[in-house]
């Protein structure tokens, strides 16, 4: 069963039934004001921080699901409905939701009234625009009432859901004309307020939830809407809301336009008040005046589209596979941008009140957006590196507002430092900005203790070399990329964090995964050292990397695949000796990506074992067989029911590592097969099983041991987005930024005839045509740039602002 | 408008319409398993700790309100309804909810089917029983389907509402016969599970919420109920629930009984499993077997009633005022017990995931229940004192599970130590247990640093004497009883705690309220010292108390009333000099209770000022005029909108202090007037304005400056319960435990003719008849015990297990 379809020309996903298997959402906003919006206009808005500046209220895991949003109601002479189906759930003659890039359009029609809602955050504005076009599609005059509704959150989303003994007494609003201002706590220490307005006079309003909704009603049947009349209520404590009533008359065929603005204002401390107790509304009025007309809205909408055109123009594909085109050109880079904006904070699975920015996550996310906005990647790298310790260790998370390390989570995730090298080299290759290496960057945010960014990279590498275990493999610390494989944290207490329990400090558990990372990223480091002419450091690192490669093959290989780790007691994890968890995906991916055993056969054997033991229709599971009992010495991984999450779930983040690894040994067909299994555009037909949005990746799909094999969870905010973009754009389609130019190194299905890539790179454009007349997977036979044959496979770096024609022939 | 009535004979409040102005709730359980249950069977259950062992899910501040509970549905051939009205909200032919002591009974009837639900926690059991009697009241055969429903919480109530990326993958159940076991995380570190069962075979079940309810439905229309058929779904992640389907046939007049048991089991670590992956169900089966029949349920219900009979028998009143009788005999002591059980953790306003036990709160709560269960009061006193510091200072809160001080909140609330003296003397007067003073009690829970409880009391008193300010008045520290008057904590940052910000440490703000407390409680301390023969300490303390009395009159009196405090800058608070907050209630109450100015006129003037400036129809506001702007030097108090909470709200906790104070100056009419204004039984007719339950006190009623004057909030868990019980039972009705016996010292309205009190005291019973032939307010003219005239007003302490007749004549 299908719930919609892609409209590639408009770069939209079109949902044609409101009852999707789970709410399918989109994100509004790209700078400071953000909104999550579902296919029935559910969701919420926040300013910068989803926890501390939540603007509207939303109830996670509610019954019914997706409870709360920017709701509109029509009362057509007693017939009450919503053009978004929810919350009223009255049957519609027509329903459509179009999720586009940074906007959504909802259209619903019933009994000759057609409502179209355009929702977006204009560039540079702290506001959501909801433009409603309402048309009489019938032959008779229409006379009905339109109601809007949002519920204010009292700013701190966590406090808002727990501290009722205070919060039920604090809510305050002001009402001026058609604008409802939410000013709770503005009286005291806040200098910000929010407002909800409409660009026409209103026939009524409500600002008190119980008055508008009725204490015992749900959003599907608010009292004021059912009665056809707002109560002009003024909230005093309890739950302030904003609802407008507009009485509408439409002649046959007539259309009217209403612009609703949901805005957020911060006033300077000395300009807080208009008069005693009356907030200064000038900035709000200015904002509203900028969107007073439909023309102004159209112009802002065009500007938003233009900015997305620009962002997505850096890498585009023309191939025969329309699903692939839409992943590469639209949805995968879009998800990368959203993941960058949100970190892991706010989705329909992340409640927005949880965690800070991950050191590891942020570096990986950066890989996915660095080609779109290298200048913001630069800023992010400096922020991340500033939280690092002098010995190369890292806080596992840092707080976005303070940009300081999070002591609650602490450090000791021993893969973390290496990701900084990978993020930095990706940035330099994209931008050519070697100067970033000379930036003076603090350790642990101490302005009195700084070193160059290059020094940070050096201590990052050395942090691994300086922390090796009995087999010469890296000590894992609290955990590596697999946050749930906790080999030195033994926890017996329910509710205790598996990652931060430090009861086995000094443990000697080792990670073969980090070893693989070290070899792969160590080689990146060596290349960087050579690029800046530091041959001595390159030689030193090369020696360490080679030693690690040997240690992996000597102690980290189990005959048919790479081991995963050694535990606290020195026992093997991910070995054929084990009864459960015999093989893990992560070490296979990274060791082969690093080239370990690529020439001696271990790599190929390992990838064959992955296919044989971990592969499923819906992707590759993390490990197998699944753990069926709790292993205290392994930590959280064994707590999950079999087949879910890190316990043999298809953890999508690591699937692309296998695709990349397959390209290392030249198996383009298998690489693309792995890529396709989890790429959402290919899963559209399976939405009943898959459940989550068919236009973005999910963090996890239930594995073959699970009751609900194939069911996805935790869509949107996942490192999966970045890694898949890298995989398809660089490792499969094979256009990789390099220090000297664009390297061309595809590894594709043999059946492909060819494809074209448009790449903007360091200010020049490259139109790259790749032909595959001999139907090979790999190998560049010839490279011609602007008519000139080039030796090797590097397109020179013209930096001339011009467009260059590149002809590549494989063979 | 009234929503119900008292049934004093059954000690129940009878609600006759489900649409009360706010959900009106009751508490089930008295030891370890607790439930909150509203008049429509909403609410939730937990084991010991409402945060860490939440058994069922409930959504606070939901839309609709009161979303989640123990729901039952009838599908009568397509007509779907609930006998509790909610969640279906179908009109009923009859509806009634009877909230009794530790149980609730819900009866609903529609179209000839009558359902009666009895809900209670049997003594000594970790389970809620919901017994349904279903009767065919029609003349025709009835053939319908009964559905039960609860939703499991994944144990940690806070994590359950935030950590979806994990929690949506962990849910697990087992189903055996009619029993649904919830075993999420039992696989790993938990040795506890819950179950929901019924004592008959079922015709279907559901354990997966989306299957039973349907993703887009609310609880009012679950898919399985609407379709008349459960899906026998087995939860795997997402949201596990428990729903039974029972097909029922009833002949005309026939009744069937169904016993539903919601239980909680903890297994020993080595008896967790029946077999691999299968939980050990033996204890659950044993529990269920104890309630397999209606007879067993009836017996357990009778036992529960018996235990409440016993608890409430220690102090009972016979007067001409039935409202007063029901407050004194039923509802006020009941609320005291609930407040003791819950501390401030779980109500419909306290989300159960907030705070620990308050040092001050716990001591005050104890005053209200010490006569019912002195042995538990003793335990509580030792727990509280164990968290005290060696210098007499205290943690402001301690954790109920660890019984250790809470570092996050810290100390420095300088009234805290004095409450320990008051709690302890109350306990000793009630029990005669002077030996408690010799108990060795740790400081700060350090087993190596102990002192006698008497030493703890001494340092408590001295903590005030050792921390005096420039006027010889007590330094306030972070705050005193008024947690929102924060005179040394200047906060500019939104969301920051007003109480724990320590930016003005060393501040010299002084509290006249603590000064009054010091005099009053200091006199209690002196009496205790004399009782144990420590005359030297009594003399020392007396000198200090007298000095304080002088300081209050010299520096703490403003001409017409007592000042409230001096701020950080030495400016007066609560003075006629101030523009707002000219007068505060707390210092008037406690200074007069202490007798300060009682003989020289200041006391009476102060109470007249209270009446003139603070009194309203609904009670006495905390301060006036209300603050209209934020005063950083006063803290949280000025953040509230005018008239709410501590900013000129009627903060009910302190109203009885004024009633007590009025008795000190002999004004019995005014004392009882103050008492009646906030006593819920007297407010029943005003429920539309008052909103909260008419059988229990609320923390706060909106004051005269508020938009919604008279509207109550935060019902149930408030020190108001204990203080009002003390006020009415000891200060107005005038039966006070004392070291030598029961002191008789009424202060009543002149119009009263008399009343009778039955008092169980130290193992003897006293039937006390108080006659007021001369219509005075105060003064015992004669006291006759068992026919013998007694000099003075102390009934001797017989300790003989017998019943004694006491005749008191006022005049």
Q: What is the pLDDT of residues B602-639, one digit of tens each?
A: 999 999 999 999 999 999 999 999 999 999 999 999 99
Closest CA–CA distance from residue A274 to any residue of chain B (Å) = 14
Query: Is residue A563 in some structural domain?
Result: yes
Q: Where are the alpha helices (DSSP H) in A203-326?
A: 209-213, 223-227, 282-290, 294-311, 322-326
Q: Which residues pair with A351 in a beta bridge?
A: A346
- Single out the residue in B263, B288, B310 at which a domain terminates: B310
CATH number at residue B616: 1.50.10.10
User: For residue A562, which of A532, A536, A539, A595 has the smallest C-alpha distance?
Assistant: A595
Return d(Cα B46, Cα B807) in angstroms, integer: 47
Q: How does B436-469 read in b/e, with b if 16+ C-beta sit within 10 Å?
A: bbebebbbbbeeeeebebbbbbbbbbbbbbebbb
User: For residue A604, which of A647, A560, A644 has the smallest C-alpha distance?
Assistant: A560
Same domain, B108 and B202: yes
> Which residues in chain A have their CB less than 8 angstroms from residue B68's CB?
63
Name the residue facing A63 among B86, B187, B213 (closest C-beta).
B213
Q: What pLDDT does A343 receive? A: 82
Give yes or no for a contact between B144 and B83, defined as CB atoms under 8 angstroms apart. no
Q: Where are the alpha helices (DSSP H) in B217-293?
A: 223-227, 282-290
Query: Is residue A417 in some structural domain?
Result: no
Return d(Cα B184, Cα B802) in angstroms, integer: 54
Query: Is residue A212 in some structural domain?
Result: yes
Same domain, A660 and A739: no
Same domain, A156 and A274: yes
Closest CA–CA distance from residue A220 to any residue of chain B (Å) = 10
CA distances from B248 to B200, B202, B262 (A): 11, 10, 21
Is the pLDDT reported for residue B501 higher than 90? no
Q: What pLDDT does B1 receive? A: 54
Query: Is residue B323 in some structural domain?
Result: no
Closest CA–CA distance from residue A354 to any residue of chain B (Å) = 7
Same domain, A661 and A737: no
Query: Is residue B122 in some structural domain?
Result: yes
Name the residue facing B60 among A161, A237, A491 (closest C-beta).
A161
Q: What pLDDT does B357 receive? A: 83
Q: What pLDDT does A399 receive? A: 81
Give yes or no for a contact between B129 and B260, defined as CB atoms under 8 angstroms apart. yes
Structure tokens, B347: 């109500």
Same domain, B639 and B759: no
Below-50 pLDDT ranges, chain A: none
Q: Do A218 and B217 touch (CB under 8 A)?
A: no
Give yes or no for a contact between A635 and A485, defined as CB atoms under 8 angstroms apart. yes
Same domain, A648 and A741: no
Neighbours of A141 (CB within 10 A): 11
Full strand arrangement of the beta sheet holding A510-511: A510-511, A565-566, A572-573
Q: What pLDDT does A1 receive? A: 58
Q: What pLDDT does A504 receive? A: 81
Structural domain count of chain B:
3
CATH number at residue A804: 2.60.420.10
Q: What pLDDT does A410 receive? A: 84
H or E, element range at B783: strand B780-785
Same domain, A189 and A275: yes
- Single out the residue in B289, B310, B331 at which a domain terminates: B310
Q: Do B22 and A215 touch (CB under 8 A)?
A: yes
CATH number at residue B137: 2.70.98.40
Q: Beta strand pairing status for A803-810 and A764-771?
A: parallel
> Which residues in chain A have their CB less than 8 angstroms from residue B276's CB?
628-629
Query: Is residue A475 in some structural domain?
Result: yes
Return d(Cα A186, Cα A586) in angstroms, integer: 50
Q: What pLDDT does A404 receive? A: 87
Return d(Cα A61, Cα A808) in angstroms, integer: 51
Counting one residue from A and one from B, how many pairs have CB atoms under 8 Å apart?
Answer: 205
Q: What pLDDT does A398 receive? A: 87
Q: Do A713 and B168 touch (CB under 8 A)?
A: yes
- Single out the residue in A641, A665, A689 at which a domain terminates: A665
Same domain, B24 and B125: yes
Question: What's the residue count for chain A?
Answer: 811
Any idea which residue has 């060819």 for tokens?
A754
Name the residue facing B156 among A159, A170, A495 (closest C-beta).
A495
Give me the interface pTM, i.e. the ipTM: 0.96
Burial of residue A236 (number of CB atoms within 10 Å: 0-12, 13-18, 19+): buried
Residue A159: closest CA among chain B residues belongs to which residue?
B495
Query: Is residue A757 in some structural domain?
Result: yes
DSSP code for A627: P
> Phi/psi class of residue A111: alpha, beta or left (left: φ > 0; alpha: ψ in -120 to 50)?
left
Write the CB contacts of A374 (distance below 8 Å, at least 6 apart in sequence): A427, A430, A431, A433
Same domain, A623 and A740: no
User: Structural domain of residue A738, as residue ranges?
Assistant: 733-810
Query: Is residue A674 in some structural domain?
Result: no
User: For residue B342, which of B679, B49, B722, B726 has the smallest C-alpha distance?
Assistant: B49
> Which residues in chain A have their CB less than 8 angstroms from residue B51's CB?
none
What is the mean predicted confidence (pLDDT) over B744-755? 98
DSSP string of B304-315, one letter each residue:
HHHHHHHHGGGE
| Residues of A annotated as part of the active site | 483
Of the residues A65, A165, A642, A646, the best mutation for testing chain B's interface (the one with the most B CB atoms within 10 Å of its CB) is: A165
3-state SS class at B219: coil
Same domain, A748 and A658: no
Give yes or no for a contact between B115 and B74, defined as CB atoms under 8 angstroms apart. yes
Q: Do B188 and A638 touch (CB under 8 A)?
A: yes
Same domain, A655 and A769: no
Q: Do B170 and A644 touch (CB under 8 A)?
A: yes
Return d(Cα B128, Cα B55) in angstroms, integer: 11
Same domain, A490 and A589: yes
* Average model confidence (pLDDT) across chain B: 96
Q: Do A162 and B354 touch (CB under 8 A)?
A: yes
Is the pLDDT reported for residue B186 higher than 80? yes
Name the residue facing A156 among B63, B67, B495 (closest C-beta).
B495
Write the CB contacts of B679 (distance below 8 Å, at least 6 apart in sequence): B323, B324, B327, B697, B724
H or E, element range at B156: none
Rg (CA), chain A: 28
The catalytic residue among B483, B558, B745, B797 is B483
> Phi/psi class of residue B214: alpha, beta or left (left: φ > 0; alpha: ψ in -120 to 50)?
left
Give yes or no for a contact between A474 and A461, defined as CB atoms under 8 angstroms apart. no
């Amino acid at each position: 069963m299908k719930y919609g379809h892609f409209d590639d020309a408009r770069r939209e996903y079109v949902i044609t039934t409101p009852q999707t298997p789970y709410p399918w959402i989109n994100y509004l906003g790209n700078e400071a004001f953000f909104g999550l919006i579902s296919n029935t206009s559910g969701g919420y808005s926040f300013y910068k921080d989803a926890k501390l500046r939540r603007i509207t209220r939303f109830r996670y895991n509610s019954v019914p699901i997706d409870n709360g949003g920017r709701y509109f109601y029509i009362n057509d002479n007693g017939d009450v409905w919503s053009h978004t189906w929810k919350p009223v759930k009255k049957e519609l003659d027509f329903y459509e939701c179009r999720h586009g890039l940074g906007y959504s359009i909802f259209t619903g029609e019933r009994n000759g009234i057609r409502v179209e809602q355009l929702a977006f955050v204009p560039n540079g504005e702290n506001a959501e625009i909801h433009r409603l076009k309402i048309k009489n599609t019938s032959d008779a005059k229409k006379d009905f009432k339109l109601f809007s509704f949002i519920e204010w959150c009292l700013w701190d989303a966590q406090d808002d859901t727990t501290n009722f003994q205070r919060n039920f007494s604090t809510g305050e609003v002001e009402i001026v004309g058609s604008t409802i201002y939410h000013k709770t706590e503005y009286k005291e220490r806040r200098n910000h307020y929010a407002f909800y307005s409409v660009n026409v006079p209103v026939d009524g309003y409500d600002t008190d939830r119980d008055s508008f909704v009725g204490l015992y009603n749900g959003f599907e049947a608010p009292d004021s809407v059912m009665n056809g009349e707002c109560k002009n209520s003024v909230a005093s404590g309890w739950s302030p809301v904003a609802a407008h009533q507009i009485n509408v008359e439409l002649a046959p065929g007539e259309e009217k336009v209403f612009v609703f603005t949901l805005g957020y204002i911060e006033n300077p401390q000395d300009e807080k008040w208009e008069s005693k107790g009356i907030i200064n509304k000038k900035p709000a009025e200015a904002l509203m005046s900028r969107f007073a007309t439909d023309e102004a809205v159209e112009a802002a909408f065009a500007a938003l589209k233009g900015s997305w055109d620009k962002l997505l123009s850096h890498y585009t594909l023309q191939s025969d596979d329309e699903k692939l085109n839409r992943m590469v050109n639209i949805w995968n880079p879009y998800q990368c941008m959203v993941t960058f904006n949100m970190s892991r904070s706010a989705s329909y699975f992340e409640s927005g009140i949880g965690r800070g920015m991950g050191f590891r996550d942020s570096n990986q996310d950066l890989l996915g957006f660095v080609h779109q906005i290298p200048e913001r990647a630069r800023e992010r790298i400096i922020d991340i590196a500033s939280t690092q310790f002098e010995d190369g260790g890292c806080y596992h998370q840092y707080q976005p507002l303070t940009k300081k390390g999070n002591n609650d989570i602490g450090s000791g995730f021993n893969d973390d430092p290496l990701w900084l090298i990978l993020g930095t080299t990706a940035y330099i290759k994209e931008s050519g900005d070697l100067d970033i290496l000379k930036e003076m960057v603090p350790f642990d945010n101490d302005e009195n203790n700084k070193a160059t960014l290059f020094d940070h990279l050096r201590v990052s590498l050395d942090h691994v070399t300086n922390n090796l275990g009995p087999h010469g493999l890296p000590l894992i610390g609290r955990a590596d990329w697999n946050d749930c494989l906790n080999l030195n944290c033994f926890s017996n207490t329910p509710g205790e964090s598996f990652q931060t329990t430090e009861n086995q400090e000094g443990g000697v558990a080792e990670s073969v995964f980090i070893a693989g990372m070290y070899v792969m990223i160590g080689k990146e480091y060596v290349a960087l050292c050579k690029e800046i002419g530091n041959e001595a450091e390159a030689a030193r690192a090369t020696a360490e990397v080679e030693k690690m490669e040997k240690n992996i093959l000597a102690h980290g290989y189990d005959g048919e695949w790479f081991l995963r780790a050694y535990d606290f007691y020195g026992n093997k994890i991910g070995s054929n000796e084990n009864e459960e968890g015999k093989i893990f995906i992560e070490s296979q991916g990274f060791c082969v990506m690093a080239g370990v055993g690529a020439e001696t056969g271990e790599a190929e054997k390992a990838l064959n074992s992955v296919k044989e033991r971990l592969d499923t229709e819906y992707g590759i599971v993390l490990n197998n067989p699944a753990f069926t009992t709790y292993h205290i010495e392994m930590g959280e991984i064994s707590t999950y029911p079999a087949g879910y999450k890190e316990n043999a779930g298809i953890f999508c983040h690591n699937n692309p590592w296998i695709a990349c690894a397959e390209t290392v040994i030249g198996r383009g067909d298998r690489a693309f097969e792995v890529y396709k299994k989890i790429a959402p555009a290919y899963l559209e037909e399976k939405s009943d099983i898959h459940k989550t949005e068919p236009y973005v990746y999910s963090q996890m799909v239930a594995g073959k041991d699970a009751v609900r094999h194939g069911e996805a969870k935790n869509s949107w905010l996942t490192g999966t987005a970045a890694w898949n973009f890298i995989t398809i754009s660089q490792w499969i389609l094979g256009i990789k930024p390099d220090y000297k130019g664009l390297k061309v190194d595809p590894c594709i299905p043999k059946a492909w005839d060819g494809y074209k890539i448009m790449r903007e790179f360091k200010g020049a454009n490259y139109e790259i045509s790749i032909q595959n007349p001999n139907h090979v997977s790999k190998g560049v036979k010839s490279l011609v740039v602007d008519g000139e044959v080039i030796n090797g496979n590097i397109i020179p770096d013209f930096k001339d602002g011009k467009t260059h024609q590149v002809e590549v022939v494989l063979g």
